[in-house]
Amino acid sequence: MSEASLSDHEAFHEDGPPGSVNGGSHSGKKGMSSSAESVLSGGSDHNGGSSTNSDERIVSKEENMAVRRSKTVVLVIIAVTALAFGAATYLFTNNEETDDYETQFRDFAYEVTTVAHAEAVNVFGLVESLALAVSSFAIHQETELPNILVPHFEEKGKHNNALSKALQVSIVPIVSMDKIASWESFSVANQGWVQEGVNQTPHLHEDFLGADLKVPPINTNVHHFVDAEDPKSGSVPVESPSVDFGPGGHGVVWQQSPAPHDPSIINFDILSHPVFARVYHGMWETKLPVMSEVTDLSFLYEGAVKDDITHPHSFLMHPIFPTMDEDEYENVEPWGFIVAAIPWDAYFTNLLPESINGITVVLHNTCGEHYTYRLNGPEAVFVGAGDLHDRHYNSLGVQTVFAEFLTYDFSETLEHCEYDIRLYPTSDFEEEYRTSKPWIYAVVVVLVFMFTAGVFLGYDFLVQRRQRRTVLKAKQTNKIVAALFPSNVRDRLLKDAAEQAEQQLEEKNNKAKFKFGGAQKDQLKMFMDEEEEQHKHQPYNTKPIADLFPSATVMFADIVGFTAWSSVREPSQVFTLLETVYHAFDELAKRRRVFKVETVGDCYVAVAGLPDPRPDHVLVMARFAKECLHKMGHLTKDLEVILGPDTGDLSLRIGLHSGPVTAGVLRGDKSRFQLFGDTVNTAARMEGTGERGRIHLSEETGKELVKFNKGHWIKQRSDLVVAKGKGHMSTYWLDPKLRSAASVSGKDTSQNSSPSADKDASFIKTGPSKPVPSNEDAKMQRLIGWNTDVLGRLIKQIIARRDAQMKLGRIQQVGTKQSPVLAGQPAGSMVLDEVKEIIHLPAFDAVVVENQAEPSAITLDEEILGQLKALVGAIAQLYNGNPFHNFEHASHVTMSVVKLLSRITTADALAERKKDENGEEDINAHSLHDFTYGITSDPLTQFACVFAALIHDVDHTGVPNAQLVKEGAHIAKVYKEKSVAEQNSVDIAWNLFMNDNFLDLRMSICRTSEELNRFRELVVNGVMATDIVDKELKALRNGRWERAFSEQANPESEYDALNRKATIVIEHLIQASDVAHTMQHWHIFRKWNENLFREMYKAYVEGRAEKNPAEFWYKGEIGFFDFYVIPLAKKLDSCGVFGVSSHEYLGYAQANRDEWERRGEDIVKEYIENWKEIKQAPQEEQAVEDSTPVESFEQEPIDGDLDNV
């Protein structure tokens, strides 16, 4: 109780009425107040007592005010202190973060400038080395300069470009007027280097020169440009007029790397270009290399180099002297110079670590040009022309001279550009170092003081509450006693008993019960039923919604290769592709205001010019078609990691036609907006008669484009098109440059490894640390990514099953990194000796399945994922560059295994439905497990099947086992001339798998020695089953099949009989997948059949085969179908576990066999012709892939205003 309350309370009880001595006469009223006493005595003392109470109240009020003021002051001090300490804490922490990010920026800026300078030095040194090499060659040739032809310049330049990141290098001799005639004769006589260079890089020129790669002749005269802004617009001979654009003569373009497919650039005088002229004068004066301002150099290498010309480029001009003595350079004149076209992007890539983003680099030069880049990790993103950095960070800018060694003291009459780079942070960079710590620390400090204030206020509140209660009771007693009756008694406030307990819970979804987790077929049926119900009562008493649109453009876009691709995919994968592609097209259509009509199968139909008419419909549709072509190319490459091999090979075939269209809503069941008329039919014909990766236009559409001055967008097709119902038609291509580049062949870039069965081979020790280089083959990387994803999903299933078993106590925690599980080949035996008659799979446990977590919800550890990808990459490296037995084919086999496994009905599904409505067991949970022989009940078994498919041809040498035996190969002796390649593949792959670098991965797959041994047994049986040539092994497998599926009584136990069937079915599953191309779409069969023919023909040409495969291939394939493929497909069908896939495989096998019988002889001749055509090409894999029915698609950029999207 406070002092004020105490004094008030004491005064209340001790003071007596006036006239009393000590209050003793009131002993009988000791506890009564003066007021009460006055009332009882007749009120004679009422005034005196009231006066006393009034004084006491005044004193009490003053004391209370003093207490309140004291509390307020304390609270204010606490609040001010809290704010002061909080602000100080925030400022201190924030300043630390500011200092940190500024320091980090300066460190990174220094690193960027240092590396960029080193890159410039590297480029200069490489170009200088090339110039010295050319100079040295010229000196030793002892021929009249500048008539020099450098041998193998394509290879020298290619090496220089790869190291210096230059797009192209050119030798430019300086030819004076008196030597023009001599030079022209020399250049014409020695123009063969162009053809040689093109032959070395056919993939750069096939689309422009055709399959024969025939290069037209060069200009016979030296020419100079008419319009330097458009160098290819035209030219005139230097004799008309006779002009030297620089000291010493004309700068004539000569040898280039890469070689041009359009040799018209040869013998052009580039000194007639003002930019080259300015730089040339500077080089001539200083006798030193000079860097140009930013300019468009695409006319030098157009078509031969893929490049974004919107990004800034410059060229480095380096003189070529007639002497190697640098001291003599001042006294002699250069006889030519090297021109290296360099994109500025090359100087700013790979400068920052992956996690550092948001540094702006501004490139300045003394010619008044400014260009801005943004560095995001190793990537340099071109922002645009001009100084576009955030002015907020001007104070932190770092500036340095770029390539200071290329700055000289030019004479005042020469125009030249010197560069510097300026670096600034961005808000994104700053945010990487900004955290919420300053606010958190400040808030924590304030909260500490607030907590102190809260404790103080809480304590005061308790004291005040006690005081109020005491005073209240005293006042109540005083009033009762004073009045003798309860006057002014205050009624207590009634609590509000009427609380709002009524809250309406609206469940509208109960009317439309749609179970989210239902089967896909049920969801599709419900969707169609709901739509049917919606349109059932639609009235027909209104006028139809239809109209004639006199001018519109219709597009049909078909996915080329889709039928063959979808034949080897699951339905969900097919729809994933279509939904992804069509959704992307829909977004493009919305942006372009193009109307999507419908999708029919894999054909996308759209129209521009309706329902809202627009005069520029043909322009809109042309741009939309071009965007769809680009988008398709990007999406298929990205989806290949998810949907598997050959997805990136899909492309579009597009047809456009313009004309009148009748359009409207056709009412009835499933009403929709539709198009009618000849225009729609003609557009479909344009698509059907077009080519993959190209946009086919009717003559009407071409004329419409010409009306809009877009005649340069189109090129007339060389041949007339015969369209159904139309006869012969003259048509056009939309921009011939839109045609796809050389298709990605998916070739294996790994080196041929020598066959070896040595378990301690050096590769096995170093394999995991040598992943496949990501920049060498994009298709290979996508295949590695897809295989990694497939195996990763299976590992999740293994982990989910193991976790459930451990949770239920079925197994104990065994196997750790400290005590890993080991297993391997038994000592003194061969892989072939390990083949098992029966592999015992684990029994099915329905309780474990019920308690198993969803595998997709499991996140694999980054270490496991990294090791898995490294393992798959190492396996890819172990494959040789064979046409057939390569990593791409192994991935194709893996895809077939995955498909067949997915088609086996799983026992897991039964575990969810095994009880009826009364809770009784309706179906035996083990019956389905027994029906599928337990293959899909065990995730480890599935993983082993997929792994066996992936490794089954590791280190294959491209020749059969019989040839290895005949040649006396080392591995043939090691494996006693039995299943040589197959045993070698198992040994090499298993040693790789058991490497310590994959310990975490291995522990996630197999935790016990029992699991690891079973895993090896499955892998060995699976890989060895792919040896279909060995008659003895084939007979043993056939015998095991007969014993497993014989209708005669089997004396062995039911458990052994079940596992015998599982073992032989797994072997036949992998066998079927190994030759799956024979049981798939005709185009798939053609592709791999030609690859196998080419592999065997190559062996014959190299003397590693006795017979020419062309002599027996036709009949051999028929026999292969009749005696192996079709019987194998029938076995898959008869075992009854593969569902509709077995019928599908058998149907394709029979259809392919019949088609081969009709066309096989002609096809073999085509194989021979294809071989002859590619024999001269250095990149054999690329050319063969382009000749197969299933091509790849890689979009090239479009020039001109068609690209202004």
Q: pLDDT, tens digit, for every residue of 319-338? A: 998 888 888 888 888 989 99
Comparing 30-34, 293-297, 831-835, which segment has the lowest mean pLDDT? Answer: 30-34
The stretch 981-994 carries a mean pLDDT of 91
The stretch 916-924 carries a mean pLDDT of 46
Answer positive or negative: Cα dihedral of 847, 851, 853, 854: positive
Return the higher-pLDDT residue of 33 and 971: 971
Phi/psi at 110 (5° precision)? -65, -40
pLDDT at 911: 44
| E strand residue ranges, 185-253 | 223-225, 235-237, 250-251
pLDDT at 86: 84
The stretch 972-990 carries a mean pLDDT of 89
pLDDT at 530: 53
Cβ(945)–Cβ(1070) under 8 Å? yes
- CA distance to 699, 930, 933, 1019, per residue, from 924 (Å): 68, 10, 15, 31
**What is the residue-averaged pLDDT of the chain?**
76
pLDDT at 483: 40
Euclidean distance between CA atoms 253 and 267, whole angstroms: 5
Amino acid occupying residue 570: E
Contacts of 766 (CB under 8 A, 6+ apart): none
Of residues 261, 260, 174, 257, the one with CA closest to residue 222 = 174
| Full DSSP string of 928-974 | HHHHTTTTTT-HHHHHHHHHHHHHTTTT--SS-HHHHHHHT-HHHHH
Residue 693 has pLDDT above 60, yes or no: yes
Residue 184 has pLDDT above 50, yes or no: yes
Residue in the block written with tokens 């474990």 = 848
The per-residue pLDDT for range 694-738, each reduced to its tens digit, is 999 999 999 999 988 888 888 988 888 888 878 888 899 997 554
Residue 948 has pLDDT above 60, yes or no: yes
pLDDT at 812: 65
Of residues 617, 606, 711, the one with CA closest to residue 654 = 606
pLDDT at 494: 39
Give the confidence band of 821 by pLDDT, cuts at 50, 70, 90.
Answer: low
How many beta carbons lie within 10 A of that of residue 752, not counting itself? 13
The per-residue pLDDT for range 529-564, each reduced to its tens digit, is 555 555 555 555 567 777 888 899 999 999 988 888
pLDDT at 922: 45
The stretch 420-428 carries a mean pLDDT of 90
Euclidean distance between CA atoms 453 and 82, whole angstroms: 10
For the ranges 217-231, 343-357, 645-659, 1030-1044, the maximum mean pLDDT occurs at 645-659
Cβ(313)–Cβ(300) under 8 Å? no
Buried b (16+ CB within 10 A) or exposed e, 449-473: bbeebeeebeeeeeebeebeeeeee
Q: Provide the 3-class DSSP secondary structure of residue 904.
A: coil
The per-residue pLDDT for range 554-594, each reduced to its tens digit, is 999 999 888 888 888 888 888 899 999 999 999 999 888 89
The per-residue pLDDT for range 66-79, each reduced to its tens digit, is 888 888 888 888 88
pLDDT at 49: 44
Return the higher-pLDDT residue of 512 and 813: 813
Give the confidence band of 172 by pLDDT, cuts at 50, 70, 90.
Answer: very high
* Chain centroid to CA 1019: 31
Phi/psi at 217 (5° precision)? -70, 160
Structure tokens at 650: 């899909």
pLDDT at 529: 58
Q: At what angle do helices 887-903 and 778-807 cross, to 10 degrees?
A: 40
The stretch 996-1004 carries a mean pLDDT of 90
For the ranges 423-437, 775-789, 1123-1137, the maximum mean pLDDT occurs at 423-437
Residue 916 has pLDDT above 50, yes or no: no
Structure tokens at 398: 């770092």
The stretch 1030-1042 carries a mean pLDDT of 76
Euclidean distance between CA atoms 373 and 349, whole angstroms: 10
Contacts of 936 (CB under 8 A, 6+ apart): 901, 904, 905, 906, 907, 908, 942
pLDDT at 2: 39
Structure tokens at 355: 């996690």
pLDDT at 962: 87
Cα Dmax for the chain = 150
pLDDT at 767: 38
Cβ(567)–Cβ(1083) under 8 Å? no
Residue 604 has pLDDT above 60, yes or no: yes
The per-residue pLDDT for range 829-849, each reduced to its tens digit, is 788 888 888 888 888 777 888
Helix (H) or strand (E) holding 285: helix 274-286
Comparing 33-47, 608-622, 627-641, which segment has the lowest mean pLDDT? Answer: 33-47
